[in-house]
Amino acid sequence: MKKISKIYYGWLIVVALFLSMALGIGTRQGFGIFVDLWGSEWETNVSSISLAASIGWLVNGLAAPIVGQLSDKYGPKIILIFSAIIISLSSILVATSFNVITLSIYYGFLISFATATGGPVGILLSKWFAKKRGVAMGAVMAGGSIGSLFFIPLLTFITLNYSWQLAWIIMGLFGLIVVVPLFIIVLKNDPSELKNSSSQILETLESNQDENGPLWVDEWSKAYNSKPMWQLSMGYFVCGITTASISVHFINWAISENISPSEAAFSFGVLSAVNGVSVFCSGYFSDMFQRRYILAMVYFVRGLAFLCLLLLSGQIALWAFAIVGGMSWLATVPLTTALTSEIYGHKKLGSLVGLINMSHQIGGAASVILFGMAFDYFGNYDLGLWVGVISLVIATIASFTISEKKFSSRFYDKRIEQTT
């Protein structure tokens, strides 16, 4: 019992959010499994199925600022609980889809709206962690990688051996049975909600109160008067282009290269396993060095992964992308959220993270439909992949040039201490 009492409560919240990310990102990343199957069953083309996914990414982006503002106003716990309920029930409803229209309603609107939880997650972790913020956010995002590693091969197996409807029902039941009860029991809006506050929790509260920075805002609109907000948004826009296009079209790309869907799903699972390690490491090292350096490196490595798909072919391209791409896949999320928190403060963090996520999802929505149209027209994804490479170069430069030492509370507080 003594050992349990020494565990910092914030890590229990990390575990709960970890499982939530596994469900949410596992659901979204698993969409690509069904593109070819739905196209055949509903007698439609890749562009039409891509439209449903594109609507989903767009709705998710537009919902992000709304969900973020609600979190700023009512606290992240209640928003995350309702989101988990909607995702779970909507996943079961997807099993009843019979055309692109019904898929667009259940997946494109309901699931996509409910998964716009970057704001509340960012608020929660920023309030519970000060010194180890990067590690905590990296650990939570590793849940998305583990979700993809576990769910994508599982969903592929169920789909090939039973039915795609059963695959979606199982996803929904996982949320209702595991994630929702865990959120209700474990989540706390901030450390002050615990009755018996430990010394660690009191220290975190004091650290959060002491944090300050020259660009901290009371109104979210003021953040757009400064350069870092645009740089972060630009990078995340590119992140959306490159992750959404792959999550929807990767398995179809593999089929076009005469690779089986099961091998493609397994390789994406390997990508997720590699990413589970890299996303945690990126958070860990970003607590030691400037986060902008790690973020720029992530975009650069992802550009190399896209080049693998263009310059290599067949199974060599598949596995090269899995390994190289896995080093960068979800690592942008904890870095971007932590930078936003430290440059602009906690008061409107939900709104700001929501707005940055909106840029991510708008980029994703555009790329999903354009990749589908390019494939239907040219018979390959080369044009879309080159767009990905060029945009990732831009994101690398935008991230590297963020004036983190000048504006981040991590360094601003140290400068204040040195001058006093």
**Predicted structure pTM score:** 0.74
CATH 1.20.1250.20 matches 8-190+199-419: yes
Provide the 3-class DSSP secondary structure of residue 240.
Answer: helix
CA angle 396, 400, 402 (to 5 degrees): 125
In the predicted structure, residue 206 carries a pLDDT above the cut 60: no
- Cα 415 from chain centre: 33
Q: State the average pLDDT over residues 61-70.
A: 87
pLDDT band of residue 296 (cuts 50, 70, 90) is: very high
> Mean pLDDT in the chain?
84
Q: One-letter amino acid identity for 238?
A: V
Q: State the average pLDDT over residues 2-11.
A: 68
pLDDT band of residue 176 (cuts 50, 70, 90) is: very high
- Of all residues in the chain, what percent are helix, strand and coil, respectively (each to 5)? 85, 0, 15
Which of the pair, 386 or 155, is modelled with greater confidence?
386
Q: Which of 39-53, 160-174, 192-206: highest mean pLDDT?
A: 160-174
In the predicted structure, residue 200 carries a pLDDT above the cut 60: no
Residue 167 · residue 159 · CB < 8 Å: yes
Q: Hunting for tokens 């430290």 — which residue is that?
A: 342
Domain locations along the chain = 8-190+199-419
Q: Which residues of 279-302 are buried (b: 16+ CB within 10 A; e: fewer)?
A: bbbbbbbbbeebbbbbbbbbbbbb
In the predicted structure, residue 203 carries a pLDDT above the cut 60: no
Measured distance CA(410)–CA(378) in Å, rounded: 49
Q: Which of 372, 276, 267, 366 is nearest to 317 (CA)?
A: 267
In the predicted structure, residue 416 carries a pLDDT above the cut 50: no
Provide the 3-class DSSP secondary structure of residue 66.
Answer: helix
DSSP codes, 77-104: HHHHHHHHHHHHHHHHHHTT--SHHHHI
Q: Which of 110, 111, 151 is nearest to 269 (CA)?
A: 151
Q: State the average pLDDT over residues 372-396.
A: 91
- Cα 311 from chain centre: 27
pLDDT of 207:
52
Measured distance CA(243)–CA(102) in Å, rounded: 24
Q: One-letter amino acid identity for 118?
A: G
- Cα 369 from chain centre: 20
Q: Hunting for tokens 């972060």 — which residue is that?
A: 232
pLDDT tens for 92-104 read: 999 999 888 999 9
Residue 244 · residue 364 · CB < 8 Å: yes
Phi, psi of 46 (to 5 degrees): -65, -35
pLDDT tens for 267-284 read: 877 887 888 788 878 877
Q: Hunting for tokens 């979210």 — which residue is that?
A: 220
Measured distance CA(180)–CA(16) in Å, rounded: 9
CB atoms within 10 A of CB 115: 27
Longest CA pairwise span in the chain (Å): 71
CA angle 401, 296, 341 (to 5 degrees): 75
